[in-house]
Structure 1
Amino acid sequence: MSDERAFTYNGGKVEPGDVQNVRYGISETYLGDPIRIPVTIINGARDGPTVFLSAAAHGDELNGIEVVREVAFEWDLSDLAGTLICMPVLNVPGFLFQQRYLPIYDRDLNRSFPGREDSTSAKRMAHRIFANFIEPCDYGLDFHTSTRGRTNMIHVRADMARPDTARLAKAFGTNVVIDSEGPEGTLRREATDVGVPTITIEMGEAHRFERRLIDEALAGVESVFAEYGLRDTSAVRWPGWRTVITGDKEKTWIRADVGGIVDMHFDRGALVHAGDRICTITNPFKDDNTYVEAPFTGLLVGVLENPVVYPGNPLCHLVELGGPTLQVVEQEQSPEVEGRT
């Protein structure tokens, strides 16, 4: 095999046809012990793109961990054309404490990319990950969940103004794609900016494995592999309908105007029509109810799970639906229509 097809990183090399499991050092503890992230590198015997799969940039976001592990260790990748970089836990310190941010000064690893080797602890960690395992890739899939106390339907976030990123987002095959660059310092934005088109997959809630969402995400990964020829698999996935939420469509986080206890009337992924009562906020005596109505017709991409709020806390994430897509979704969710008020 040609050495040109070997995947190299600082400290190692993986030849075509080989698999390597690495615990890669990205920092040190207060005691001087190494902080290491698990990385599995599968270099296929056949030529093809180099793709990374990453999860748990926020340490309490677990669904993506199982997606990345199942691809790396349960799929038959003997026919792989290209190279897979599988990183199931990026934020090892946060994962160990089961918290979102790095315990070191409460930094957000997913606002620290591409990092810098002479900067803060978070940026040094981000630099080691980015330089060795992100920048050498051709494409990337970064798995996330909602933050604690909320939950998301599975959807993709991507910069749809970039054709290569739009192709990747559509290949994953979710019903909803939210178009945005992403904040500065996020893995997907910084990777995309250096020529590695990357999408974020949002799925479910923190602190748990949700099998149905994990299976949906695995189907999305398989679809991406089909699109880019990494495996001889089935055709690219078509989810039945798709809406891309761009700047000309309404989207909003609906927030509580009062404090209290929330009775949510719809689940994530539900269709609501303008004027539908999404939830009711009550006091402990249930004698002062505040009704929260949908300002426009759309999908509840994310909803509150922890049923208590202060004024200003988010209740749900609503994105607009209309036209033929709305008609398809209305037919699809018709058994749930009686749940509307």
Structure 2
Amino acid sequence: MADDATFTYNGGKVDPGETQNIRYGISETYLGDPVRIPVTIINGAREGPTVFLSAAAHGDELNGIEVVREVAHEWNLDDLAGTLVCMPVLNVPGFLAQQRYLPIYDRDLNRSFPGHETSTSAKRMAYRIFHNFVEPCDFGLDFHTSTRGRTNTLHVRADMSDPEVARLAQAFGTNIILDGAGPDGTLRGEATRRGTPTITIEMGEAHRFQRELIDEALAGVESVFAEYGLQETPTVRWPGWRTIITDDQEKTWIRADAGGIVDMHHDVGSLVEAGDRICTLTNPFKDDNVTVEAPFTGLLVGVLENPVVYPGNPLCHLVELDERVRRVVERQQSPQSDGGV
């Protein structure tokens, strides 16, 4: 294999046919001890793309950690064509504290990319991650969950105006793709703008492993590997139905107009009709109920898990479905349905 198939980073290299587990220094603690992120680099013996898999840019988002670990350490990658850069925990300080943001000044690592080598602590960390392990890649998958107290159905977020991002998003094989460019400073947005097409995979809630979602996400990774020829055996996944939520379709976070205790009447992933009661807000005496109704027919992509709110707190994330997809989802969610399409 040609010498240029060697994966290099500042401080080391991984030759074709070689695997390395490294702990890469990205910062230091107050005591001057190193802050290191775990990175597994598998460089296949056959030529192919270089791909990164990352998780826990927010330190309490755990589902993606298990996805990345299983790909790196449980899959048989003997026939890998290309290179995998697996980063299961980007935000090590947040992970150790089991909190979303970096404990250092409460900064968001996922608003700090591509970073800067002489700027804030967060941007210095982001710089070392980005320039060593993201920028050299051909594309990437970045795994997230909802924030604390909420949960998301499995879906992809991607800039579908970019053909290479669209190919990657569709190859992952989720029912729902939320179309839009990644915000400034996000790993997805900055990597894509700098030539490494990247998608975000949202799945479940923070602070836990959810096995069903992890398995679904692993099937998505297999599908991507098939699309790009990283492995020969898997096939590209078709989820049965797919909707791409664009700016032309209605989508909204429905927020509480009153404080109280929330009685949620629908699960995440449910189809609700315009006017359906999504949830009820009550006080401790249950004598002042406020009903929250769906403003349009759509799918609940995210819902509240922690049943207490202040006014303005989000209750659910509702997205509109086109008529064809809505009929398919209705059949699937009907009590008489066998789940088929």
TM-score range, shorter chain: over 0.9
C-alpha change, 1:90 and 1:84, in structure 2 (3 Å) is same
Match of 2:141 in 1: 141
Partners of 2:153 and 2:302 within 8 A in 1:
yes
1:1-12 mapped onto 2 (5 Å cutoff): 1-12=1-12
> What residue number does 2:231 align with?
231
| Matching residue of 2:121 | 121
**Residue 86 of structure 2 corresponds to which residue in structure 1?**
86
Equivalent AA in structure 2 for residue 120 of structure 1: T
Query: 1: distance between equivalents of 2:143 and 2:52?
Result: 11
> AA paired with 1:276?
D
Question: For residues 9 and 2 of structure 1, what CA distance do their matches in structure 2 show?
Answer: 18
The 2-side partners of 1:282 and 1:198 are apart by 42
- Inter-partner Cα distance in structure 1 for 2:26 and 2:136: 17
> Is this contact kept in 1: 2:222–2:235, CA < 8 A?
no
Q: Distance in 2 between matches of 1:222 and 1:106?
A: 35
State the match for 1:188 in structure 2: 188
Structure 2 match to 1:57:
57
* Alpha-carbon distance in structure 2 between the residues aligned to 1:150 and 1:315: 8
- Tell me which residue corresponds to 2:105: 105
Q: CA deviation at 1:183?
A: 1.0
- Taking the TM superposition and a 5 Å limit, the aligned residue runs for 1:63-82 are 63-82=63-82
Distance in 1 separating the partners of 2:13 and 2:234 = 31
The secondary structure found in structure 2 opposite 1:155 is strand
Q: Equivalents in 2 of 1:290, 1:336: separation in Å?
A: 32
Matched-pair contact (CA < 8 Å) for 2:158–2:199: yes
Contact 2:225-2:234 at 8 Å conserved across structures: no
Letter in 1 for 2:112: S
1:297 paired residue number: 297
CA distance in 2, matches of 1:324, 1:151: 26
Q: Secondary structure at the match of 1:93?
A: helix
Q: Map Cα deviations across residues 106-148 of structure 1 (whole Å, 9 max, x no partner).
A: 0000000000001000000000000000000000000000000
Under a length normalisation based on structure 2, what TM-score does the superposition of the two structures give? 0.98
SS in structure 2 at match of 1:248:
coil
Q: Which residue of 2 aligns with 1:257?
A: 257
Q: Which amino acid aligns with 1:182?
A: G
Q: Distance in 1 between matches of 2:121 and 2:336?
A: 49
Deviations 1:244-290 (A, max 9, x none): 00010000000000000000001110100101100000010001110
Given the alignment of the two structures, is residue 201 of structure 1 paired with residue 201 of structure 2, yes or no?
Answer: yes
TM-score (normalised: structure 1)? 0.98
Structure 2 counterpart of 1:258, which letter?
Answer: A
Hey, which bits of structure 1, 4+ residues long, moved more than 6 A? none
What SS does the corresponding residue of 1:133 show, helix, strand or coil?
Answer: helix
Distance in 1 (CA, whole Å) between partners of 2:32 and 2:226 is: 44
1:336 & 1:192 partners in 2: Cα distance?
43
TM-align CA RMSD: 0.9
Distance 1:113 1:217 in 2: 24
Spell out, residue by residue over 1:41-65, the C-alpha distance to the aligned partner (whole angstroms, 9 max, x if none).
0000000000000000000000000
Q: Give the aligned length.
A: 337
Deviation at 1:336, TM superposition (A): 8.8
Amino acid at match of 1:153: T
User: Structure 2 matches for 1:6-21, cutoff 5 A?
Assistant: 6-21=6-21
Q: CA deviation at 1:233?
A: 2.1
Aligned to 2:158: 158
- Is this contact kept in 1: 2:141–2:199, CA < 8 A? yes
Question: Does the aligned pair in 2 maintain the 1:222–1:233 contact within 8 Å?
Answer: no
Is this contact kept in 2: 1:145–1:204, CA < 8 A? yes
- What stretches of structure 1 of length at least 5 have no aligned partner? none
Unaligned runs of 5+ residues in structure 2 are none
Mapped to 1, the partners of 2:248 and 2:233 lie a distance apart of 36
Contact 2:300 2:317 in 1 (8 A): yes
Q: Which residue does the alignment assign to 1:37?
A: 37
Deviations 1:28-53 (A, max 9, x none): 00111000000000000000000000
Q: For 2:12, give the aligned amino acid.
A: G
User: Percent of pairs identical after alignment?
Assistant: 81
Partners of 1:157 and 1:47 in 2: CA distance: 29
Tell me how far 1:2 sits from its aligned partner. 2.5
